Structure 1
Amino acid sequence: MPDVRPADPLGAVRNLGILAHVDAGKTTVTERILYVTGTTHKRGEVHDGTTVTDFDPQERDRGITIFAAAVSCDWDGHRLNLIDTPGHVDFSDEVVRSLRVLDGAVAVFDAVAGVEPQSESVWRQADRFGVPRIAFVNKLDRAGADLDWAVASIRERLHPAPLVVQLPIGSEDGFEGVVDLVRMRAWVWADGRDGGADGRGSEGGVREGAVPEVLREEAERRRRVLEEAVAELHPGALEEFCAGSGLSARTLAGALRDLTRTGEGVVVLCGSAYRNRGIEPLLDAVVAYLPSPSDVPAVRGTPDGTDRTQGAGRPDGADGVEQERAADPDAPFAALAFKVNATATGRLTYLRVYSGTIRKGDAVWDTGARRTERVGRILRVQADRHAQVDRAVAGDIVAVVGLRSARAGSTLCAPDASLVLEPPVTAEPVVSVAVEARTGTDTDRLVAALARLVEEDPSLVVRTDDETGQTVLSGLGELHLEVAVEKIRRAQGLDVRVGRPRVAYRETVVRGVAGLLHRHVKQDGGAGQFAQVVLDVEPLGVASENADGDLGGSATGFEFRSAVVGGRVPQEYVRAVEAGCRDALGEGPLGGHPVTGLRVVLKDGATHVKDSSEMAFRTAGRLALREALRASTMALLEPVVEVTVTAPDDAVGGVLGDLSARRGRVTGSTTRAGAAVVTATVPLAELFGYATRLRSRTQGRGVFTARPVGYAPAPAR
């Protein structure tokens, strides 16, 4: 790699995440990075329960990542702030919150399985946040591993331009190194199971040398393919490519850096993290191609509109106007809290500092809680271990102690320069269980434990069922809720009873109503209330009723627009009507489920010179939409998931029959590495207990993954 040491301190920082499908090896990649950089002196193993980042007892027991863990290490004069994210779909909210604060990412793929369902999901999430990525094809030492096949799956399913910069030396169990196609040099590792004395090249760990003669022709061919692919995408590289016999290593590396940061291409590397092969070139690529905090656009936010000295709106009228904060240590302080963790030693709030500097003892303004907090301590995080520091500057990812009210998504800023940053969107729960303490004396402790859970994980929701009085815990899947309940049992020593899982249904409009008039009049002495609205309600998108009376689509969401002319309803009252309609969406007429998939149009209205107000129109909007929904043809929606089942060929018949019995619709079937891979869309309610059933039908050899794909019509109940 070329010398990429920056002149400014921010340029020496990389904030990146490790993203992948479950079991692709991202935690092992993280552990090897920590070992190779000298941060740890013994490689942690997932199967032994000795990993640094999977430190929670449940993570070690289950062998999967459940909670995003932050670590820091140094490589080639750069500091890498690294977040190891979960791969299971039930914990995708942790991934989203992490992506919101990262500048780059390494996407890890299995060289045998290629792009898997959750790989695709986290890739799309990274697209939404504009996070530049490089790809690492892992497990090249496995039987059936094929770099070219894995790259083809990246191209077909993720649709980037994959730019392969390495050629494997050896295959499957004989994989021993890679050829760097940028510099045309070879990296060869000794037995990666012990990696030499320190795994970093001394005493036979890794050797760099000339390309093996047997691979020279193939390496030159692949280098030419790489140059052509880069020249097609990069104008500067195209100019040099056409002018001479090819691209220099310097030009090629610069073009790869530009294409990575714009998202027009993705650099692909390969290796075997378990055998400690390919990690050093991966670290070089992180430094060379992924952006630093000073390379990404300035963060944007809006003032929170509060003058702390007067308790009123800002006098400069800047409310709602977007502002930028550059990644400058001397700028006003602004940071986003992306994770909260209650530990035995205190409440940790994880921050990404976007601008300014924060020091121990500083006062910060929490725009969510609208209160001033004081920073007790600032910690550099190493998973479950921490090192205290005196300050954190723009570009840092740290944890702070002393913030009592900050939540994930809260903006913390300088009290005299307020700014509200856009928080990550929290996923909507789809599965619920009733929970209760086994003894009445533990009820209060359970309530406190649930409140702490929700504080740490915003994707969990706790409510009380109005009909039964039960406490209901809702989350993103069976495993999500199982982990949450087990955490209460272990951390609090509570004996908790859990009911059967239930899915979160929705209601939608199949056929709406037009011209529904509602007049809200209330007179009880003094100023009265008057508001009149006329609403049209119709299905949103493709939701419609076909000739057989079945729902033909499952569009979700809510749209509101005004078609009022002549100023018959002032704009501030229009906004109040919309707020009232949103209030009415919480409870539908079929079974009290939330309503989605509809469009409301305010057609007309009337006001009273004295008695009309925003409150009156909000009430009118709420009551009018409830009346309209009762008059509409409604349908029930249920959450559906895409299931990918991998099973032996001789068990496919049983798998297909079981999916059909669960109201599944098979959408694809392929053969991969000697096993059948079946993809189907299945109602979430039918998947409870499926893992046990699949194991029994396949003699323990079948596995499945699932990811949410939306809502579909539910059968009549």
Structure 2
Amino acid sequence: MLARSLNLGILAHVDAGKTTLTERLLHTAGVIDEPGSVDSGTTRTDSLSLERRRGITIKAAVVSFPLDDLSVNVIDTPGHPDFIAEVERVLGVLDGAVLVLSAVEGIQPQTRILMRALQRLGVPTLLFVNKIDRSGADVDAVLASVRRRLSPHVLSMGRVEDAGTPAATFTGFRPDDRRFRERETAALAEHDDAILACYLAIGAGPGPMLQAELARQTRAGLLHPAFAGSAATGAGVGELMRGMATLLPATAPLDDGPPSGRVFKIERSAAGEKIAYVRMFTGSVIARSRIALAQGRTAKVAGLQLFTDGRWVRTDRVGAGQIGRLTGLSRVQVGDAFGRADTTEHQFAPPTLEAAVAAVDPRQEPRLQAALAELSDADPLIAARLDDDARVVVSLYGLVQQEVLTATLSEEYGIEVEFSDATVVHVERPRRVGSAIERLNTETNPYHATIGLTIAPGDPGSGVRFVTEAPARDMPLYLFKNPTAFSAALERHVDRALRCGLYGWAVTDCVVTLTDCGYSVADGPPSRRGPTSSSVDYRQLTPLVLHQALQRAGTQVCEPVLRVSLEVPNDDVAAVQRVVARWGAEVLAQTTRDDLSQMELRLVSTRLHQLQLQLPDLTGGEGTLESRFDSFEPVRGAPPSRAARALTTSR
């Protein structure tokens, strides 16, 4: 019988000690002889050389250790804001999380962002106040700040002694500790009327009832038990592990029912083979079985691995609740789900920057394109593509991500690259209705097919809709099984053509209608006589006709407008308001709680990165910023242009 599985995320602001904590957990569980060091680059999870040089986590990593009857899969996640997409992908596969805070620095900007993400997705979360052995450590002050800034529903699970010294310790409260039981009862009573009645009657409930209710509320995300300690010395880590085992939800390995899971990470082996990290939700996946992916894609599993005894080992089955590495899925992408896995979309804002990247040695350009196509599998938000000058363009969140790409291309692919200055991504919308048609056997049509298309404006945010009005009798059904298959093929050609509009940006919020079609045959009437039409004719002719229709419709370039949430100290609100007002931001709401103010505003994305750069100086490093896409709005003044087409991959 397989052990129960607990898939645990460890999250923190940069340098709060989450990677060190992961090493300490592995050591305490007996998986490794000595904890690795971030400073010396010997940790199990920060395997990239750039991670070791910078002392930060860039890619999610998975390790595992046994705990009672649990197999705990620890997912060490990035802490830098440029990699928030990597964090969000991981959150969707977690059973629970540990949010690490520093006992010295306390709540830091990324801590607040991560906690809000955990709360939004309902991930059960324990708190671990790290670095109690450092000078200036003050756990009580940190927890008081947590209650003010993150959540009032926090329960301290023990006491710290000798804080700020190498001898600092954390001792968990005993269940029969009267004062702890009273605090526990009061915290639980906030969410349970029966506990409240018990609290009003006798002041504290019986121990077993309180322990069961504490676990229930923690698993429901209603309460956050708080532990403290030092990942460097091991103080308090044992108590934290006991909290993981008793308070967080684990998954039993039920093998019945169809398999379902989600791919949350992709990497390449030394031989270039694609490796997919999969969280199984139900059923089991076995070697040589086939799984159905999105958009009609299927894949055959060639091999399976589980993390056991400090390393990945081959297995013949990965069951519900487990995390496995699958090989053979050549067409899989990050985020792909199969079976009945939850298909909830991530809430983070897409990248709003893009930059051209070129190989320092021009002879390596083909290798660069192939490398970026592979990296786009691991991170689809990179969205590598070619412009009309055959330059490769990638999407970015920020400069640290650009540095990571540069280092990855150099160290893993042997390609030295240079980036151009980043620019903001725009889109185009049709201004009016435009139509075009190219008929068979005419001077302007070099292909053996007839295509007529009309493009019309759609509602803002509606995307692209394809409609077929051409009669089925005019469709080349000898090439396609039925009219639906022919329409689907034309829709794919239209989607590709709309990736580059009149100004080079993707065209969206429109309705494209197939009004006419036709094919030629050797023995047909004069108007349709000629070489038999092929699928290539329709693939080549469709973008030509669509471009003609688009020229007649005209397009309007629109820039992304973001909804930005700011959290700044009250004393700095006026300075921030002055800056965003100069940029034309629309302030939607402003509230104040204790020493912090929350501001909601709409801001064009061209200003977002300036705000990110200035916010630390404006707020003494205390301000936080979250953004999400709100809408596209017409550009004022001369529209920027860009000519780019998609970079094809091996799929």
Same fold (TM over 0.5): yes
1:429 to 351, 359, 372: 351
Q: Are positions 1:225 and 2:183 aligned together?
A: yes
Q: Are positions 1:25 and 2:29 aligned together?
A: no
What SS does the aligned partner of 1:291 have? coil
Deviation of the 1:41 alpha carbon: 1.2
C-alpha contact 2:303 2:328 (8 A) present in aligned 1: yes
Q: Distance in 1 between matches of 2:167 and 2:564?
A: 37
Q: Are positions 1:498 and 2:419 aligned together?
A: yes
What SS does the aligned partner of 2:79 have? coil
Compare 119-128 and 17-26 and name the one that shifted more.
Answer: 119-128
Deviation of the 1:73 alpha carbon: 0.2
What are structure 1's unaligned runs of at least 5 residues? Answer: 1-7, 186-218, 295-326, 413-417, 540-555, 563-571
Q: Which residue of 2 aligns with 1:485?
A: 406
C-alpha contact 2:182 2:203 (8 A) present in aligned 1: no
C-alpha contact 2:426 2:557 (8 A) present in aligned 1: no
Compare 95-104 and 339-348 and name the one that shifted more.
Answer: 339-348
Q: Distance in 2 between matches of 1:19 and 1:628?
A: 52
What SS does the aligned partner of 2:331 have? coil
Q: Which residue of 2 aligns with 1:440?
A: 362
Q: Which residue of 1 aligns with 2:6?
A: 14
1:287 to 239, 242, 245: 245
Quote the sequence identity (%).
Answer: 30
Q: Are positions 1:62 and 2:20 aligned together?
A: no
What SS does the aligned partner of 2:384 have? strand
Deviation of the 1:629 alpha carbon: 8.3
Deviations 1:412-459 (A, max 9, x none): 5xxxxx657527548622222212223333222222211221122222
Quick one: which amino acid aligns to residue 92 of structure 1? I
C-alpha contact 1:459 1:476 (8 A) present in aligned 2: no
Deviation of the 1:263 alpha carbon: 1.9
Q: Distance in 2 between matches of 1:607 and 1:446?
A: 41
Written as runs of structure 1 = structure 2, the 5 A alignment for 1:268-667 is: 268-294=226-252, 328-344=254-270, 346-359=273-286, 361-368=287-294, 370-380=297-307, 385-411=311-337, 422=343, 425=346, 428-466=350-388, 468-505=389-426, 591-594=503-506, 630=554, 636-637=559-560
Q: Which residue of 1 aligns with 2:481?
A: none
What are structure 2's unaligned runs of at least 5 residues? Answer: 442-447, 468-483, 519-537, 639-651
C-alpha contact 1:328 1:394 (8 A) present in aligned 2: yes
C-alpha contact 1:504 1:638 (8 A) present in aligned 2: no
What SS does the aligned partner of 2:225 have? strand
Deviation of the 1:623 alpha carbon: 9.5
Q: Distance in 1 between matches of 2:366 and 2:434?
A: 45
* Residues matched between the structures, number: 588
1:45 to 37, 43, 46: 37
Q: Distance in 1 between matches of 2:390 and 2:381?
A: 22
What SS does the aligned partner of 1:459 have? helix
C-alpha contact 2:103 2:138 (8 A) present in aligned 1: yes
Compare 274-283 and 586-595 and name the one that shifted more.
Answer: 586-595
Deviations 1:499-555 (A, max 9, x none): 22223245689xxx9xx777788876999989999x88676xxxxxxxxxxxxxxxx
Q: Distance in 2 between matches of 1:623 and 1:228?
A: 67
The alpha-carbon distance between structure 1 residues 151 and 506, as it changes in their structure 2 partners (threshold 3 A), is farther
Quick one: which amino acid aligns to residue 274 of structure 2? R
Q: Which residue of 2 aligns with 1:237?
A: 195
Deviations 1:89-139 (A, max 9, x none): 111222122112111111122234444332233333334433221222223
Q: Which residue of 2 aligns with 1:205?
A: none
C-alpha contact 1:463 1:471 (8 A) present in aligned 2: yes
Quick one: which amino acid aligns to residue 155 of structure 2? L
When the two chains are superposed, the root-mean-square deviation of aligned CA atoms in Å is: 5.3
Deviation of the 1:396 alpha carbon: 1.1
The alpha-carbon distance between structure 1 residues 505 and 681, as it changes in their structure 2 partners (threshold 3 A), is same
1:150 to 139, 142, 149: 142
Quick one: which amino acid aligns to residue 177 of structure 1? T
1:138 to 130, 137, 141: 130
Q: Are positions 1:101 and 2:101 aligned together?
A: no
Deviations 1:249-278 (A, max 9, x none): 222211111111222222222222223221
C-alpha contact 1:505 1:638 (8 A) present in aligned 2: no
The alpha-carbon distance between structure 1 residues 585 and 103, as it changes in their structure 2 partners (threshold 3 A), is farther
The alpha-carbon distance between structure 1 residues 663 and 276, as it changes in their structure 2 partners (threshold 3 A), is farther
Q: Distance in 2 between matches of 1:175 and 1:680?
A: 47
C-alpha contact 1:504 1:639 (8 A) present in aligned 2: no
